[in-house]
A and B are shown apart, each in its own frame.
Chain A
Amino acid sequence: MLEVHHVTKNYQSFTALKEVDLQFDHGIYGLLAPNGAGKTTLMKMLVTLTFPSDGEITYNHENIVDLGEEYRDILGYLPQDFGYYKSYTAEKYLMYIAALKGLDKTKAKLRIKELLELVGLQDVGRKKLKKFSGGMIQRVGVCQALLNDPKVLILDEPTAGLDPKERARFKRLLSTLARDRIILLSTHIVSDIESIAKEIIMIKDKRVLYKKNQEELRSLLEGKLFEAIIPFEDVEAYHSKFSVLSEKQEKNGIKVRFVSEQKGAWNEVEPSLEDVFLYVYEEETDLSEDRKHD
């Protein structure tokens, strides 16, 4: 079990995360927050690239920094900006990372073949990485993270640059892998984790706001989410009275989706994870603010 105990991370006078407590068992965990909320900082601490200013992170009750190489041996990591050597072929790059992960050469070759097939890059293994598209590079990134069959897989914005088909393939792959390992996936795109995450963690104001399953999260808006088609001139009034999560132009007006504590003559709708996300991070995703800037 991977546990974050009361972790705070300061960068000089700036606090990125404050008193974070988390536990991860097997399965997929989605770390959902807007950009700049501290997702990458948390991920970097979980892979020992940076250290908590206060508190500790443990794996099976031992501090991950003290575990050192033992912990890194069971770790797979895909950073947000996945770096690679352009002059290397995909196979050569993966062989290099496999060597750093301490994999036997023969086993590494087999594993690389297997992984390239898994991500659909078997035909381009001998091509130089500089010729790869963004999506293909990201798939090589996923391969390197999986080389050592990690027990803890940390993926920072893994779907960036993937097209819808690749995203769907990636989600299927994660669901298969999650059976016997911890997968923590950070994203600000709700659909990346919807339907596959066992639990979703939301960070707000430098702290963990929620760590709940999707049903529990959706229930936060149960009975409070409505839709109504209103004339264009009423939109501003709705914005000042309610939390408007989305707007859509219709023939006879604007269809608004909003949160209200009181029921009215509106259509009550089933909340989605996206609704919860938009509601929780209302200030960061304020539609009225967007309109002002437009």
Chain B
Amino acid sequence: MKDRERIPFPNDREMKNQVSGIIEGGLEQQEGFLMSIHTLLKKVGFQHIFRDATEILFTLLISGLTLIGFVILTSTWVSWNDVNLYAAIFTTSPLLYGVFVYFFFIQKQTNPAFDVEMVCKYNVHVLAAVRMLAFSLLTIVLNGIALIALSVQTDIHLLFALLLSFISLFICSSMFLYIQHAPIRKLSPISVMVGWVVLNLALYSIAGAGYEAVILSIPIYVYLIIAVLTGYVYIKQVMKFLQKPKGVPLC
């Protein structure tokens, strides 16, 4: 009894530290974003993540066609200055990503081995995280090339145009990913892309030049902050695929 009395009662801070220690020790540590991607590439292998040669060829073909399209469009016979360029950049930047990703999901869900792949440790959802990341990087690069090409022909502010492009891409891709792992999917993923274009066209047709004026009136540092924030949201959405991903609600 005397021995027990000698044990000092922990204070609030000690108790808090102990509780935190127990929780930290007991809970499974989630890997960071880059570490998760690295582990996945190491465990599954690049050749299995991008297994389908047809898919890769399709991606390359789309990329090539997009580039050629932009080269043609930015050639001297197009008077780019007459087009509402910033509104067009903001509207169309996510489209290429939409094509890549939608093709991937359509291909996967009609794939005969989908059920088997979906119940593996690294299932279609986990692989999708890496693929989508690769698709967004590819889209960023291609959009960047297109905008650089455009800046040669027109007097657009390149950094501003790039920021607009990143923001719209991140907003759309985050929404796309959010829909993908919603337990009950009420919206088709493609509706995000279609909705984005329709919304922007509607705003443009209602507000006309005022729409671009609003886009132009916001200072560049605000766009920079928005780009970082939307980029962060996008990474968080990709992480949801990597950490404790849930199965695709097929029905």
Which residue of the partner chain, among A44, A84, A101, A141, contacts B121 with CB atoms under 8 Å? A101
| Residue A238 at the chain B interface, CB threshold 8 Å | no
B 15-50 to A, binary, CB cutoff 8 A, 1 in contact else 0: 000000000000000000000000000011100100
Q: Which residues of A contact B117 (CB under 8 A)?
A: 97, 100
B 40-65 to A, binary, CB cutoff 8 A, 1 in contact else 0: 00011100100100000000000000
Q: Which residues of A contact B111 (CB under 8 A)?
A: 83
Cα–Cα distance between A77 and B123 once the two chains are bound (Å): 13
| Residue B208 at the chain A interface, CB threshold 8 Å | no
From 193 to 251 in chain B, residues with beta carbon under 8 angstroms from any chain A beta carbon are 244-251
CB of B251 within 8 A of CB of A69, answer: no
Cα–Cα distance between A75 and B117 once the two chains are bound (Å): 12
Residue of A nearest to B251 (CB): A50
Which residue of the partner chain, among B51, B116, B245, contacts A83 with CB atoms under 8 Å? B116
Which residue of the partner chain, among B120, B127, B246, contacts A101 with CB atoms under 8 Å? B120
Cα–Cα distance between A69 and B127 once the two chains are bound (Å): 13
| Residue A49 at the chain B interface, CB threshold 8 Å | yes
**B31 smallest CB distance to A (angstroms):** 12
A100-B120, A100-B121 known; A48-B44 Cβ under 8 A? no
Q: Which residues of A contact B44 (CB under 8 A)?
A: 99-100, 102
Interface residues on A, range: 20 to 34
- Residue from the set B113, B117, B249, B250 with the largest chain A CB neighbour count within 10 Å: B113
Residue of B nearest to A9 (CB): B251
**B184 smallest CB distance to A (angstroms):** 9
| Residue B114 at the chain A interface, CB threshold 8 Å | yes
CB of B121 within 8 A of CB of A51, answer: no
CB of B112 within 8 A of CB of A100, answer: no
Residue of A nearest to B39 (CB): A102
| Residue B122 at the chain A interface, CB threshold 8 Å | yes
Cα–Cα distance between A73 and B43 once the two chains are bound (Å): 13
CB of B247 within 8 A of CB of A65, answer: yes
CB of A99 within 8 A of CB of B48, answer: yes
Which residue of the partner chain, among B51, B114, B127, B247, contacts A48 with CB atoms under 8 Å? B247
Cα–Cα distance between A141 and B118 once the two chains are bound (Å): 15
| Residue B119 at the chain A interface, CB threshold 8 Å | yes
Q: Which residues of B contact A84 (CB under 8 A)?
A: 112-113, 116
| Residue B126 at the chain A interface, CB threshold 8 Å | yes
A 123-158 to B, binary, CB cutoff 8 A, 1 in contact else 0: 000000000000000000100100010000000000
Residue of B nearest to A99 (CB): B48
| Residue B69 at the chain A interface, CB threshold 8 Å | no
Residue of A nearest to B47 (CB): A99
CB of B245 within 8 A of CB of A69, answer: yes
A68-B244, A77-B116, A83-B113 known; A100-B123 Cβ under 8 A? yes
A69-B244, A102-B44 known; A50-B250 Cβ under 8 A? yes
| Residue A72 at the chain B interface, CB threshold 8 Å | yes
| Residue A47 at the chain B interface, CB threshold 8 Å | yes
Which residue of the partner chain, among A48, A51, A65, A102, contacts B119 with CB atoms under 8 Å? A48
CB of B115 within 8 A of CB of A79, answer: yes
Q: Which residues of B contact A65 (CB under 8 A)?
A: 246-247
Cα–Cα distance between A49 and B118 once the two chains are bound (Å): 7
Cα–Cα distance between A96 and B127 once the two chains are bound (Å): 13
**A52 smallest CB distance to B (angstroms):** 11
Residue of A nearest to B48 (CB): A99
Cα–Cα distance between A73 and B48 once the two chains are bound (Å): 18
CB of A75 within 8 A of CB of B119, answer: yes
**B9 smallest CB distance to A (angstroms):** 34
| Residue A234 at the chain B interface, CB threshold 8 Å | no
A49-B247, A100-B120 known; A69-B115 Cβ under 8 A? no
Q: Which residues of A contact B118 (CB under 8 A)?
A: 49
Cα–Cα distance between A44 and B113 once the two chains are bound (Å): 14
CB of A47 within 8 A of CB of B121, answer: no
CB of A44 within 8 A of CB of B116, answer: no
Which residue of the partner chain, among B48, B244, B245, contacts A100 with CB atoms under 8 Å? B48
CB of B119 within 8 A of CB of A96, answer: no
Which residue of the partner chain, among B51, B183, B247, B251, contacts A11 with CB atoms under 8 Å? B251
Residue of A nearest to B112 (CB): A83
A 61-89 to B, binary, CB cutoff 8 A, 1 in contact else 0: 00001101100110101010111110000
* 8 A-B pairs in the complex with CB atoms less than 8 angstroms apart: A49-B118, A69-B123, A69-B244, A97-B117, A100-B44, A100-B123, A101-B121, A144-B116
Known A50-B249, A100-B122; 16 more pairs at CB < 8 Å? A49-B248, A50-B250, A65-B246, A69-B245, A77-B115, A81-B112, A81-B115, A83-B113, A83-B114, A83-B115, A85-B113, A97-B120, A99-B43, A99-B44, A102-B121, A141-B116
B-side residues, CB < 8 A to A, are 43-45, 48, 51, 111-123, 126-127, 183, 244-251
User: 4 smallest A-B Cβ distances: which pairs?
Assistant: A83-B112, A100-B120, A48-B247, A83-B113
